[in-house]
A and B are shown apart, each in its own frame.
Chain A
Amino acid sequence: MADEKRKGPRDNGAPDYKKNLHPLMAKNYGQWSYHEKIKPGVLVHVAENGDKLYTVRAGSPRTMSVDTVRKICDIADKYCQGHLRFTSRANVEFLLAKKKDIGPLIKEVKEVLGFPIGGTGHSVSNILHTQGWLHCNLPGTDAAGSVKALMDTLMKEFESDNDLPARVKISASCCQINCGGQGDIAINLQHHHPPVIKPEGVGICELPKVVAICPVAAIRPRQQDDGVTTLEVVDEKCMYCGACHGQCPTMEIRDAKTDTLTIWIGGKTASTRNGPSFMKLAVWGLPNNPPRWTEVSDAVHKILDAYKATAYKYERMGEWVERISWQRFFELTGFPFTKYHIDDSAMARTTYNTSAQVRF
């Protein structure tokens, strides 16, 4: 690296997508007429001119060695004219011009890669997740591992496109920053006390930035007896979000003894029907138990079972609960409704039942 040739930024920008398109995508760009489901994980898109492009969707573990990525390429070279695509949920999409190649391709994907075919239609698709203990500096739990463990129990839901009332998107996050984002079901880590400040480390952080980032103004500078400025946290104000931990590693928010997992449900990004929605707290206090996190998968299945049994077709999880009420949700799943489910944020009042409508 030394300064042999300091070339500075190249600012190449984004690669040219046109060079990466499957020939049928390039030919029929903007000229698609309709699509049909052939079977779970397999779609056909039909162009105005009658051209057909077949897509086989396979679930990937997202984290892969270059050897595995090369094996994916080998299959795409053999059947897909050297072109493929990834979805936003880390599924691989093999693109085929010939229908007769679907069978042999699926066989090869299963045998060589061990990837299942599915994730289309009303399925549980691949889980969006964060880095976790594999590569993040802030996590209280793992992601790749917990997702692998949970997906092991959701194969039927991944490989079918009609087993559920509507699609179910799951995400997993390893701290309360929630990089995993919204989902029909989201599994998130929960902290349970204010950050513990490691005094020796405060010097490496920009203190005003740490003070400023606190959403509830709980952090303030403190002059020590020796004249050195450090920080202190007003415990009563702190809501254990960990924003300061991202800013300054000294603000240790995690605690292996007390961190737990919570499950949130009802998030939806599409503007379909009643529009997008945020997920809400369903279950809290689940233990963070590597390497299989069985308490989490048990809870997820309880939710999915109740959803499958009582939701209408095309009703996403949030829409389902909105219709049947949260009261019913807790009855059906057996999870307790507690005072911690009641919002106490600035938006809290918008979540109360301010009517005389009541169910029994």
Chain B
Amino acid sequence: MSEKKKKIETPMVDELLDGPWPSFAKDLKEWSSKKPQVGQLLGQLNQSYEDKWNYWQGTVLNVDGYGGGVIARYSELAEEYPDIAQFHTIRVIPPAGWVYSTESLRNLCDIWEKHGAGIMQLHGMTGDILLLGSDNKTTFEAAEELFENGWDLGGSGGALRTLACCVGEARCEMACYDTMKTTTDLTNRYISQLHRPEFPYKYKFKLSGCANDCGCSMQRSDMPIIGTWKDDIRVDQKEVAAFVTEHGADFVRDNVINRCPTRCITLNKKKIEIDNKECVRCMHCINVMHKALRPGVEKGVTILLGGKRTLKIGDTMGVQLVPFMPLKTEEDYDKLYDLVERIWEFWGENAMDHERVGEFIARVGLGTFLDGVGIDPDARMVKAPRTTPYIKFEEITPGRMGGEAEDDPAVSNAEVEQMEKA
């Protein structure tokens, strides 16, 4: 850098310094007195605002033994902003449910002030802790110190991605299974798949303790694992009466009874009755009357498969693959692992490059997929049976997925007919 430091002007970014919502720009501007590269980062951002144009190039940089976890960025304005010529992000696996002791957060701060630009994002859209601003040398030094302190890198690319979950049993009465334990166990069991990409494309788990889905699993993960229960909703009629007294019967009718998707609740004076057989465990009534109603006690999970955002075949949500599975004992967990591994094997063997599992299911069909992973069809997997009558019944004619693809598949045409006649 030149001897005389040129003051970096950022007039457009400065328009974000004030206003009632906390300003990242103000924070970073103050922080830039300690880390000059942060001032340059704001300088480049200001240039982006002026030009409506981006100045980062992306590339790959891997820590020894890892196939992901570092998001490498090179500035196209390095001549002007030399200290951000290389300005990478390190993804770090957070504690499940994003709970922290100040000791662990301070440890991260110290490591990142020492080796990086000292900018953190809590958290990225993947759920990772993001540490912004290391170069080709300090990335490795930071990673080494992170490892020594028990931290580990998150996933990127065609790998298992960093898992995320809701707060679960740590602070929520609605949680139907231990989301934090399951997140941690899955992470640690499959840490190799997380660090060294071996899948057709990315694979994300997100875990929520109930159908409220605070873990945002339905549309943001390939395999949502969502808590549910099999027996009856627990009703405390004394609390129901108190709720009806406080809010009035009309409120309960408008906001609980009539909002039940299967109309399985009736209000009788100050008591409610639930036809639990028709209940779909949607959580609405429990959300509104959370002191009076609680999930049942025979708890477990519903597992879906195939959710993702819109590229390339349009938005997909997970398909209900396993309507109910208990998740308490070691044997229960073994069944979950077995399911995960069967899915990875069939998808891994048969998917195309860059094909997420939801796209794969859309291409081969859910029926074929179930055959491939060895799961019996269940009417709960569909909203309705098919409407098209063109069906290949395997009991009558041989199945098309019976074995290896043939090089010279059988054909039916007029010539064949005539030859057979002759």
Contact = CB atoms under 8 A, between A and B. Distances in A.
A29 B4 CA distance: 58
Nearest to A14: B187
A33 to B, nearest CB: 6
Interface stretch (A100-108, A192-200, A265-273, A352-360): A265-273
Contacts of B163: 14
Nearest to B192: A11
A215 B151 contact: no
B104 interface: yes
Contact of A271 (B171, B173, B211): B211
A209 B45 contact: no
Contacts of A12: 147, 150-152, 191
Given A14-B152, A271-B226, A313 B255 contact: yes
Given A65-B119, A85-B99, A276-B218, A138 B58 contact: yes
Contacts of A68: 27, 31
Q: Which of B54, B141, B284 gathers most chain A CB within 10 Å?
A: B54
Interface stretch (A140-148, A302-310, A324-332, A333-341): A140-148
Q: Which of A36, A90, A278, A291 gathers most chain B CB within 10 Å?
A: A291
Given A8-B65, A66-B112, A273-B284, A346 B313 contact: yes
Q: Which of B93, B108, B259 gathers most chain A CB within 10 Å?
A: B259
A155 interface: yes
Given A32-B172, A45-B171, A152-B20, A314 B288 contact: yes
Interface stretch (B8-16, B339-347, B363-371, B409-417): B8-16
B122 A70 contact: no
Contacts of A269: 213, 216-220
B36 interface: no
A17 B180 contact: yes
A347 to B, nearest CB: 6
Nearest to B34: A67
Interface string A180-201: 1110000000000000000000
B173 A32 contact: yes
Interface residues of A, number: 117
A209 B192 CA distance: 25
Q: Which of B121, B136, B191, B353 gathers most chain A CB within 10 Å?
A: B121
A145 B46 CA distance: 10
Interface string B91-106: 0011111111111111
Interface in B264-308: 280-284, 287-288, 290-291, 294
A215 B104 contact: no
Interface in A126-161: 128-131, 133-142, 144-145, 148-149, 151-152, 154-155
B25 to A, nearest CB: 7
Interface in B56-109: 56-58, 64-66, 71, 73, 87, 89, 93-106, 108-109
**What bracket does the count of chain B residues touching chain A fall in?**
35 or more
B140 A1 contact: yes
Nearest to A148: B16
Contacts of B106: 70, 73
A14 B94 CA distance: 7
Given A53-B171, A85-B99, A9 B195 contact: yes
Q: Which of B19, B22, B28, B195 gathers most chain A CB within 10 Å?
A: B22
A176 B164 CA distance: 23
Contacts of B30: 65, 67
The SS class assigned to the A binding surface is loop
Contacts of B288: 314
Contacts of A113: 22
A312 interface: yes
Interface string A1-20: 10000111111111111011
Interface in B380-417: none
Contact of B41 (A116, A134, A274): A134
A17 B152 contact: no
Contact of B95 (A10, A16, A95, A133): A16
Contacts of A256: 51-53
Given A20-B104, A145-B13, A148-B25, A25 B56 contact: no
B213 A271 contact: yes
Interface in B186-236: 187-188, 191-192, 195-196, 211-220, 226
Given A9-B65, A29-B169, 10 more contacts: A12-B152, A15-B93, A17-B97, A65-B31, A133-B48, A145-B16, A148-B25, A215-B312, A272-B212, A273-B261
Nearest 4 interchain pairs by C-beta? A137-B58, A9-B65, A215-B312, A65-B31
12 contacts: A7-B147, A10-B147, A17-B180, A29-B169, A90-B123, A116-B22, A137-B56, A148-B25, A178-B311, A181-B220, A209-B354, A249-B57
Interface of B: 12-13, 15-16, 19-25, 27-28, 30-31, 34, 38, 41, 44-45, 48-49, 51-58, 64-66, 71, 73, 87, 89, 93-106, 108-110, 112-113, 118-125, 127, 132, 136-137, 140-141, 144, 147, 150-152, 163-164, 166-167, 169-173, 175, 178, 180-181, 183-184, 187-188, 191-192, 195-196, 211-220, 226, 254-255, 259-261, 280-284, 287-288, 290-291, 294, 309-315, 317, 352-354
